[in-house]
Structure 1
Amino acid sequence: MEMSVPNAVAAAEPIKLDAVPRRGALYRIHHDGKTSYLFGTIHVGKQGFFPLEPEVTRALADSTSLVLELDTRAHRPFEQALAKYGAYPAGDTITRHLSPRALAQLNKALAKAGISLQSVAGYRPWLVANILVGSEIEKHGYHRSNGVEGFLLSAAIAQKKQVHELESADYQLSLFASLDDAQQERYLVENLEELENGKALQKSAGLIDAWSNADAARIATMARELTAGDSVSAVFMDRTLLGKRNPEMTNHIERIMQTDQVAFVGIGLLHLVGENGIPELLRQRGYSVEKVY
């Protein structure tokens, strides 16, 4: 007599694992017989974003060096730059530099975030604005400890690769200090208003979501939204954080590509977007730039 076999066993198939989704944007750069890679990162994230897509991990494994905006392992230079550009001299406080209306808005936002005025009183308005936006993002599950740079660094260290910085913490934070008192107050107020109406989270989460799905069209849309208009925040993003830095980063990337056999460059996603983005700037300088995805 034949024994019946349960359908589930009879029809058993190999377990299929879900493919790792594509995230960010990846470019392959060719010049003078050398190949390097550009990968768009985000500075905050979730643990579920890792591991990255196999094309990214293979590109990093094939590289001889990792290039980041900053080596995030170096805490002291960042802390020194924060003290230099983000804090007032001893005895001075933010309350002396804000209008009564702006100070009232700040107190309201701090109370909502559960942050005391005393704890940030010595900080300049641009830094307080960034702290509050960062706090709001963290409440919704996005953490700097899960930023892409940390994942890339861990992999590069395990693979015993050289790590290069494109910038210094001193330089990055000096850009915010280029805003005068009136601009800093406006920058703070704009961010407080967007925290209040939900746009701050909407913009940040929108960009992170576009990155997590490698959604090129939405990434481009988010870049336009973040740089459009005449607000201090948008103009600063467009002209300084992107417009000024992109050509400087491109210069540095060129120098690294001339000396390193294969460089894997991981930089903020917005630096790769549009006609003034680093891929396009490299094309204009005679590099062959191929978008992998």
Structure 2
Amino acid sequence: MRRPIIVVFFSLFLMAFQALAGERGALFKVSSGANALYLYGTVHAGRPDFYPLEPRIGAAMAAAPTLALEVDSTGDQAAMAATIFKHGMFPAGTPGLPGLPAERRARIEAGLRKQGIEPAMVAQLKPWMLVATLAMVEAGKLGYDPKLGVDAHLAGLAKSSGKTRITELESMEYQATLFNRMPVDDQWTMLEEALNDMESGRHAREARELFAAYEGADQAALDRIAKRLEEDNTVGGKFTREVLMNERNGPMADKIVSLVGRENNAVVAVGLLHLVGKEGVPELLRKRGVKVERVY
């Protein structure tokens, strides 16, 4: 009798170890009445060894009638390019980078060249778009590929299943409009801050910290990142906290409440930073009266 018992306990231990070993990001179960969904925190760039995702996410995706993403990055590429052209570039005839005062222009151009970007090639990009480009450059230096982002991977799983529909909590137009409404001078300041942070190594350090927090499902690290965001009063820091996080989290929470109210077993995947802090989506969901349990 002893051998079967040992085998059973070993199997259970192995299953638990496999689940723990694959835990990444943050996972919550959200319940309302008889319905429940999984809320998963992702990163928008990844590595091949991120996949397959751990078994609970795999099982949730297999059962999900709906996958809700911030934006489906695997969707209409022509429409996305048109949105970026509309909101991320200065109109023809507008000087852009060449129109800056000489000293500021020289400072920014020198910073771009240090990051391997030729200023003439990006002269018509708006500063917020340059900041986004620099973030992708930094992720690439650290070994993370935007094409292997977790959101894109989940979208691929949904499409390959043939039975999980994809819905968007936002739109590319909405996200680009948020950036574009920032005063242009503030955008240039945010770009200068980003270039300074890249030169000092702070940008890489904080990006590495976020990816490590995702890879280890490290709640303590996420709490530290949330605290830093709350205290960052640079132009870029305030914009990230007040607009890119707090302003978007409320509408996201409303749509998640609506989704779990009408449908069972959906999966919602949003950027990991939307799930941290007192203004994060999990806390906002609790304030809206739904049950939120942290899985990891």
What's the counterpart of residue 90 of structure 2? 88
The match for 1:149 is 151
Question: Is the 8 Å Cα contact of residues 227 and 237 (structure 1) preserved in structure 2?
Answer: no
Corresponding residue number in structure 1 for 2:79: 77
Distance 2:123 2:109 in 1: 11
Equivalent residue for 1:22? Answer: 23
What residue identity is the alignment partner of 2:156? S
2:178 to 175, 179, 186: 175
Partner of 2:209: 206
Give TM-score, length-normalised by structure 2: 0.89
**Offset at residue 281 of structure 1 (A):** 0.9
CA contact (8 A) 1:66 1:265 kept: yes
Q: Is the 8 A contact 1:98 1:185 kept in 2?
A: no
Equivalent-residue separation in structure 2 for 1:35 and 1:280 (angstroms)? 17
Q: Do the aligned residues in 2 keep the contact of 1:93 with 1:123 (CA within 8 Å)? A: no
Flag the 1:102–1:130 CA change in 2: closer, same or farther, 3 A: farther
Q: CA contact under 8 A between 2:40 and 2:268: conserved in structure 1?
A: yes
2 CA distance for matches of 1:59 and 1:34? 14
Per the alignment, residue 65 of structure 2 pairs with 64
Deviation of 1:97 (Å):
4.6
1:185 matched residue in structure 2: 188
Q: CA deviation at 1:198?
A: 0.7
CA distance in 2, matches of 1:111, 1:197: 15
Structure 2 unpaired stretches of 5+? 1-10
How far residue 207 of structure 1 moved from its aligned partner, in angstroms, is 0.2
Structure whose alpha-carbon radius of gyration is higher: 1
Aligned length: 279
Aligned 8 A contact 1:77 1:170 in 2: no
Which runs of 5 or more structure 1 residues have no equivalent in the other structure?
A: 1-13
State the Cα distance separating 1:33 from its structure 2 match.
Answer: 0.8
Structure 1 vs Structure 2 CA RMSD = 1.8
Asked if 1 retains the 8 angstrom alpha-carbon contact of 2:24 and 2:214, the reply is: yes
With the length of structure 1 as denominator, give the TM-score of the two structures.
0.90
Give the letter aligned to residue 65 of structure 2. Answer: T
Name the residue aligned to 1:9. Answer: none
Partner residue, 1:31? 32
Where 1:200 maps in the other structure, the secondary structure is helix
Q: Secondary structure at the match of 2:174?
A: helix
